[in-house]
């Protein structure tokens, strides 16, 4: 067997080192002497998500075993209680430079070239999701929902963001924007405000990158489209006849004046017909006539079903581009399916309560989980070893399970060695038993 080539600076080992280095720059809010450094505390939470520990208890129990020191560089592993206590007062925004350093490494390693879409753009899918809900005591970041009977629900949401590509299963998450109660106000935060904060930060961090933002139909409103334009971001946003009646009326009108273009493409191998109609430069609605959009309506017709979608891209639609724009619009589902659903169902336990805290703990854990997911997705995109083991084992769940077993049972020095062991197998030796020969 020939060992697959691995891109070293993007290997799990190199990225763990980079993440740890980033954590080491975060100032510790505690002034007094501490038993365990904040770096070790952050790294141990990261390792918990990286190893997909089935529960806090399981991770805690085995913290003395395994190779948290050799592989994750953790000098002292805190217990669960200590970890919660230390992380709760730390503001999640300190993790932003760590996400950025991993992103820069991806750029330097040319890993993102595989994700470019329509010339040199990145397709960035945004979507909100809730991951924690409680009826008991809220923390300082909780959103409050008061019910008719006077009871209250407290929950945590985030605006997730990931670079997606129609041909790639891997997604590259950016640091999510927490949807949390903002300081100095009693009002709840919302997805739209979070999106405003997110794009401002995105532009500040990546002033020269070209993005096409793709979102569902809730985002197709004039203020949001204006915000995206103000930050020089392109977009492919969903629209629905029920919610955007004005757009569909405009298209109807354009049809009467012959401005609508029809286009069809046959994929005989797949037995599918792609049917389009599109029109450029129509107002989004009467009250915002100055906000002009282009419109694509699409039908995917196969033998037994018809799928129907529509979008308002800000990029001009032509027969040459309409197929690509449709694929970009449809790739949006990867933020739900390949991102949130993977985090919920593929071993990360996104909705599990790792600790609520009174200030930031719940948000901190969600961000650290996303950071571990980013490192895993980099392996999925770039590491031939990882992909070979995944193919061999057939599922991510089994992959994490086997990885964890080797991590705890064998004296391995790196993730690379762990992957090799998973791919080629390990030499099983019989246990040594002392025999009394007298
Ligand atoms: Zn909370």
pLDDT interval class at 321 (50, 70, 90): very high
CA–centroid distance, residue 357 to ligand 1 (Å): 7
Give the separation between CA 379 and CA 377, rounded to whole angstroms: 5
Would you state the pLDDT for residue 1?
44
pLDDT in tens, 126-149: 999 999 998 888 899 999 888 899
CA–centroid distance, residue 132 to ligand 1 (Å): 8
CA–centroid distance, residue 139 to ligand 1 (Å): 4
CA–centroid distance, residue 150 to ligand 1 (Å): 19
Task: State percent of the chain over pLDDT 90.
Answer: 74
> H helices of 88-241, where?
96-108, 191-205, 222-230
| Mean pLDDT of all residues belonging to the chain | 91
Q: How far is C-alpha 40 from the geometric centre of its chain's CA atoms? A: 24
pLDDT interval class at 193 (50, 70, 90): very high
pLDDT at position 5 over 70: no
Would you state the pLDDT for residue 380?
94
pLDDT at position 336 over 70: yes
pLDDT in tens, 65-111: 667 888 999 999 999 999 999 999 999 999 999 999 999 999 999 99
pLDDT in tens, 408-425: 888 888 999 999 999 988
User: CA 362, 74, 4: angle at the middle one, nearest 5?
Assistant: 100
CA–centroid distance, residue 143 to ligand 1 (Å): 7
Q: How far is CA 106 from CA 14, 103, 183, 370, 428, in A?
A: 12, 5, 34, 16, 37
Give the separation between CA 330 and CA 306, rounded to whole angstroms: 15
CA–centroid distance, residue 156 to ligand 1 (Å): 6
Give the separation between CA 326 and CA 73, rounded to whole angstroms: 45
CA–centroid distance, residue 120 to ligand 1 (Å): 40
CA–centroid distance, residue 155 to ligand 1 (Å): 6
Give the separation between CA 235 and CA 124, rounded to whole angstroms: 9
pLDDT in tens, 223-248: 999 999 999 999 999 999 999 999 99
CA–centroid distance, residue 289 to ligand 1 (Å): 41
pLDDT in tens, 294-315: 999 999 999 999 999 999 999 9
CA–centroid distance, residue 375 to ligand 1 (Å): 26
Question: Could you tell me the pTM of the whole model?
Answer: 0.93
CA–centroid distance, residue 41 to ligand 1 (Å): 21
């Amino acid at each position: 067997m020939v060992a697959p080539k691995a891109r070293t600076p993007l290997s799990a080992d190199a990225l763990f080192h980079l993440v740890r280095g980033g954590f080491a720059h975060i100032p510790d809010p505690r002034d007094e002497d501490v038993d365990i450094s904040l770096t070790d505390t952050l790294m141990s939470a990261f390792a918990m998500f990286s190893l997909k520990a089935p529960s806090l208890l399981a991770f805690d129990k085995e913290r003395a075993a395994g190779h948290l020191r050799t592989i994750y560089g953790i000098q002292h592993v805190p217990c669960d209680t200590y970890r919660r206590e230390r992380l709760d007062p730390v503001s999640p925004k300190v993790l932003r430079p760590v996400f950025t350093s991993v992103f820069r490494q991806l750029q330097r390693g040319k890993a993102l070239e595989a994700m470019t879409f329509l010339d040199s753009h990145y397709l960035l899918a945004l979507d909100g999701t809730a991951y924690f809900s409680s009826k008991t005591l809220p923390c300082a970041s909780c959103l409050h929902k008061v019910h008719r009977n006077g009871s209250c629900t407290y929950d945590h949401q985030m605006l997730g963001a990931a670079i997606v590509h129609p041909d790639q299963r891997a997604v590259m998450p950016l640091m999510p924007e927490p949807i949390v109660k903002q300081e100095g106000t009693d009002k709840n935060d919302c997805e739209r405000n979070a999106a405003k904060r997110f794009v401002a930060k995105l532009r500040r961090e990546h002033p020269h990158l070209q993005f096409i933002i793709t979102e569902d139909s809730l985002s197709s409103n004039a203020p949001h489209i204006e915000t995206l334009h103000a930050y020089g971001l392109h977009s492919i946003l969903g629209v629905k006849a029920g919610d955007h009646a004005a757009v569909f009326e405009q298209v109807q009108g354009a049809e009467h004046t012959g401005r609508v273009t029809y286009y069809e493409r046959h994929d005989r191998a797949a037995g599918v017909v792609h049917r389009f109609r599109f029109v450029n430069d129509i107002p989004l609605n009467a009250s915002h006539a100055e906000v002009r959009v282009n419109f694509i309506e699409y039908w995917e017709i196969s033998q037994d079903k018809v799928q129907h979608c529509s979008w308002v891209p800000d990029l001009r639609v032509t027969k040459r581009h309409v197929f690509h724009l449709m694929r970009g619009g449809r790739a949006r589902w990867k933020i739900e399916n390949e991102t949130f659903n993977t985090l919920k169902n593929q071993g990360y336990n996104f909705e599990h309560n790792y600790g609520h805290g009174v200030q930031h703990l719940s948000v901190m854990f969600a961000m650290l989980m996303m950071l571990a997911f980013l490192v895993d997705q980099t392996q999925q995109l770039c590491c031939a070893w990882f992909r070979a083991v995944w193919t061999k084992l057939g599922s991510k769940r089994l992959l994490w399970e086997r990885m964890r077993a080797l991590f705890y049972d064998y004296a391995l020095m790196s993730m690379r060695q762990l992957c090799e062991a998973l791919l080629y197998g390990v030499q099983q030796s019989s246990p040594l038993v002392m025999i009394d020969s007298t």
